[in-house]
Chain A
Amino acid sequence: RKEVEQDPGPFNVPEGATVAFNCTYSNSASQSFFWYRQDCRKEPKLLMSVYSSGNEDGRFTAQLNRASQYISLLIRDSKLSDSATYLCVVIPRTGGFKTIFGAGTRLFVKA
């Protein structure tokens, strides 16, 4: 089993739609969680951190479910500019400084 797993997609949604991605992780002691966004042939950029209490940043909401070992990202009112690959990132407590990326979920938002 992979340490971090994501549905690769692609998710094809119309503008204005709400879309949700999940990401599961295998190490129950994992410490920190993030969502990164990567545009085609560009470097990953931090989208948001994921806190135990959940957090929201504009149209984006991230949730953490430690009991089921998954994190989620919800995008409301999708824009064309949201088209990208969304990478789930886990930092395992026992792993120290190692950062584990999922393979990413591709999102295409169409007009």
Chain B
Amino acid sequence: DAGVTQSPTHLIKTRGQQVTLRCSPKSGHDTVSWYQQALGQGPQFIFQYYEEEERQRGNFPDRFSGHQFPNYSSELNVNALLLGDSALYLCASSSPKDRGVYNEQFFGPGTRLTVL
């Protein structure tokens, strides 16, 4: 059973550029959440996608946008990159149909983004 996969694993960009990160959820999961984790901090919720729509958003500017495809995979786009966007970007999938554990999320290995 494939877990959550993310690509690429590492990425280096310069200020002002745009980046797209990709995520494939765990088999059977239909909900994808994106998080930003700066060094020494916990993951910060960016947004969650369900049924191809953004269901909830955290405190991130509009430069952060996303998409979910019919096969439940998802993309995170960040425009006009800033130095402060350097972080580990984590994708997590879940299924509201899971019994027993409410909102258990399975994380992918993350994409480490460095903005120079």
Residues on A facing B (Cβ under 8 Å): 4, 32, 34, 42-46, 49, 87, 91, 95-104
- Contact bitstring B35-69, A, C-beta under 8 A = 1, else 0: 10000111111001010000110100000000000
Report the minimal beta-carbon distance from B50 to chain A, rounded to whole angstroms.
8
Contacts of A96 in B (CB 8 A): 55-56
**CA of A32 to CA of B106 in the docked complex: distance in angstroms?**
16
B7 within 8 A of A: no
How many residues of B are counted as interface, with CB atoms below 8 angstroms from the partner's CB atoms?
24
Residues on B facing A (Cβ under 8 Å): 33, 35, 40-45, 48, 50, 55-56, 58, 90, 101-110
Residue of B nearest to A103 (CB): B42
Q: Is the CB of A49 within 8 A of B101?
A: yes
**CA of A42 to CA of B112 in the docked complex: distance in angstroms?**
11
Q: Is the CB of B40 within 8 A of A43?
A: no
Q: 6 other contacts beyond A4-B42, A95-B56, A96-B55, with CB at 8 A cut-off?
A: A43-B110, A49-B102, A98-B56, A100-B45, A101-B42, A103-B42
Q: Is the CB of A99 within 8 A of B90?
A: no
Contacting residue for B45 out of A42, A98, A102, CB 8 A: A98
Contacts of A42 in B (CB 8 A): 109
Report the minimal beta-carbon distance from A81 to chain B, rounded to whole angstroms.
19
**CA of A42 to CA of B41 in the docked complex: distance in angstroms?**
13
Given contacts A87-B42, A97-B48, A98-B45, contact A43 B107 (CB under 8 A): yes
Contacts of B44 in A (CB 8 A): 101
- Interface pairs (16), CB distance under 8 Å: A4-B42, A43-B108, A46-B101, A46-B105, A49-B101, A87-B43, A91-B102, A96-B56, A97-B50, A97-B103, A99-B105, A101-B35, A102-B42, A103-B40, A103-B41, A103-B42
Residue of B nearest to A85 (CB): B42
Contacts of A100 in B (CB 8 A): 45
**CA of A100 to CA of B45 in the docked complex: distance in angstroms?**
7
